[in-house]
Amino acid sequence: MAAFTKVLLLLLFMLQVISTFEQATPKGGLAMPGCQEKCGNLTIPYPFGIGKPGCYLDEPFRVKCNSSTKVATLPYFYDVTIYNISSDSIIINAYGSSVVYNSSSGKNLEKGDVETVGYELLQPHFSISHTKNKFVALGCDIFSFLKDFRSGSIITGCASFCVNKDRLESQPNFSSCSGYGCCQTPIQTKLGDYFVSGAHTMNTDNTTWSRNRCNYIMIVEKSFDKFDEIKCRPDFTIPSAVDWSIGNLSCAKAKQRICGHNAYCANSTREGYLCRCSQGYQGNPYLPSGCQDIDECENQNENICPKNADCVNLQGSYYCSCRQGYRSDLSKSSPDGYTCIPDHERRMLVTLICVGVGVGISILILVVAGFWLNRKLKKMKLEKTKERFFKRNGGFLLQKQKPTSNRGSVLEMKIFKTEELEKATDNFNQSRILGKGGLGTVYKGMLSDGRIVAVKKSNKVNEGQVGQFINEISILSQINHRNIVKVLGCCLETEVPLVVYEYISNGTLSQHLNNNNTNSSASPLSWTHRLRIGAEIAGALAYLHSCASTAIFHRDIKSSNILLDENYRAVISDFGLSRSVHIDRTHLTTVVGGTFGYLDPEYFRSGHLNDKSDVYAFGVVLAELLTGQKVISSNTSDEGLAIRFKTSLKQKDGLFEILDRAVANEGGEEEIFVVAKLAKRCIKLNARKRSCMMEVATELQRLARTNGKDLQRRPNGFEDSYFSSGVMSFDYSSGPISFDYNLDLSIDKTM
């Protein structure tokens, strides 16, 4: 019964400590996941643990739980019973030490040791706590002490005496433990690794030492005060606090930490270190998951937020925010130094802000309305400007003249919007420029349907020439010849007209001829290519000159206006100077236009334009194909290639001295002489002595067909229907036109 009472008192004593410890515990477990957390009512937090390795840090922290009695013991610490485990100490069941006097003489002892008891500490993990324990002595006329065994110095001590020598045995009452039959004192200094406790008789006048058998000395947990229950038994137990720590190194010296998330390392009161949750966090700092945030706003006791303030939780902290209409006032006296008072100034400010916002919104609406109205007016003005440009550039006239042919081969020209072409050319970005000329600038663009096109931005058109410009655009849009660039449409809403052509990807003939490397034996254009290109250009010009009702004179035939595609197909472009002439008229008087070096001398003198002007320019292009030389060279003082070419033909073997290396190496001698003779006839000064384009096209076509050793098909630009047994037939919209091509092809090498 006495043993049961003793255990009950100890359990009652620990309930408050355990309750306090568990209140600071988060909802999550304190043991390692998958490990036993309870032994009876005792919680076993990691690094302590029950069961297999891994549930505890290492052997000193292994806890054994008796499955029947539900009592936890610590095998490493003499199998002591554990009542509680806190963050830095454990409460164990310890035994008090009895003091027995030496009664062999039958006299009271004089000054001297009566009994000493030694305590050896367990290093490096556990030691008797000097901060959580007190030193207690029960008995009469004794002075009890704690003494460092190694240094011999007394750590602490207290004196106890009795008036009646029989009082302790007959009716002990030590609850106050104030010096009468019981004394206690705190342990001021850290206990060493080995110490002893003992007692001396004080030999007072009314000594009771020799008659008293209830003399005890003990180190007991500070809050223990149930000394009345001891009842002079030598086997009594008491709760004692033992400090623990991880290892025997300080935080500064420890190389490894076991502290978890939101935790830090703290030096222990003894050797070693401990883990602590950071401020604002709670939980087991030794677990990998670490400490969890404390929601101070859930419990009013955890925060100091005053009335009319809201608590806002943060990770590891919180703050107070005064509610709407209140403000913080630190000048007002309050228990926590923080309060929220009505904010009249803020209310006034809010009112003013609301008024200001209302006025601001009104002004903003007016500004937006004004901006919208201004944009609308600008748009209307722009539309009127576009309409004016469209009318000035002949848009209405072009709409009336748009072809309505039902023939599938003739494409109807499209009138583009300004926005379409601006988007296609990235607003006419400089990086999109393909080339510049006297008549305008050409940009590369991509339409919304994915087609790549060339957009020509023309120079200003004289209002007197609008009708002529529209007439030419209308005619060119109906041309369906594979060697003449297709006009896909135009835009007349801008200050200057924009014309949209098909895009030819391989540059100009001039670039291929003038980019030759004179030190290289190879040329980008072979003789076969050159012969076929000449035939294609001649065929296209013959087509233009031989239209059924209206002949078109290009007026600016030159190598830079002849485009090549990826298969080296020749395409004539740039009809900016072109003029249409009724088939009954033999010539047209115009302002002289063209490029120096290609310009017909007779046309230059008279101003009378006819088809022979294009023949002359084509003859110069033939000379370029033969020689690969520039029409106008800065290294020569003559007037141009035409004069140099005719001069060379007058000299013996002069032709072969100026021939391009590719022509000389690849071309047959007879073929070269035929082409040279043809070029000579084209650049005669007297226009009447020049061959017509139909004759030139026919002769070049014959040469191209007989030179087809390296070609498995006929040259591009000519269909089988174009040639048949001595007659070349061109299929036009108004019907076929036939020409005899029985020409003299005899070779005169003297020329």
CA distance 93 to 242: 10
Query: Among residues 461, 350, 477, which one has the least CA distance to residue 401?
Result: 477
Residue 730, number of CB atoms within 10 A of its CB: 20
Q: Which residues contact 194 (CB under 8 A, 6 or more apart)?
A: 118, 119, 120, 121, 149, 150
- Asked if residue 741 lies in contact with residue 726, where contact means CB atoms within 8 angstroms, the answer is yes
**Tokens in use for 228?**
């009345």
What SS3 state is found at 119?
A: strand
**Tokens in use for 477?**
């849009």
Query: Which entry of 88, 556, 600, 614 is annotated as an active-site residue?
Result: 556
H/E/C letters for each residue in 313-355?
EECCEEEEEECCCEEECCCCCCCCCCCEEECHHHHHHHHHHHH
Task: Give yes or no for a cis peptide into 497 (omega within 30° of 0).
Answer: no
55 to each of 48, 86, 98, how far by Cα in Å?
Answer: 8, 17, 39
Strand partners, 244: 126
- Asked if residue 146 lies in contact with residue 199, where contact means CB atoms within 8 angstroms, the answer is no
CA distance 147 to 465: 126
Query: Among residues 8, 89, 92, 93, which one has the least CA distance to residue 45?
Result: 89
**Angle of the 693-706 helix axis to the 527-545 helix axis, nearest 10:** 150
**Tokens in use for 457?**
């931005």
Strand spans (E) along 202-300? 216-221, 237-244, 263-267, 273-277, 281-282, 292-293
Active site residue 584: no
User: For residue 375, which phi and psi values (nearest 5 degrees)?
Assistant: -65, -40
Amino acid identity at 481: H
Query: Among residues 324, 266, 323, 260, which one has the least CA distance to residue 292?
Result: 260
What is the DSSP secondary structure assignment for residue 740, as one 8-state letter? E
Q: Which residues contact 13 (CB under 8 A, 6 or more apart)?
A: 223, 224, 226, 239
Residue 279, number of CB atoms within 10 A of its CB: 10
- Asked if residue 43 lies in contact with residue 63, where contact means CB atoms within 8 angstroms, the answer is no
653 to each of 44, 647, 673, 718, 750, how far by Cα in Å?
Answer: 115, 11, 11, 34, 9
Residues serving a catalytic function are 556
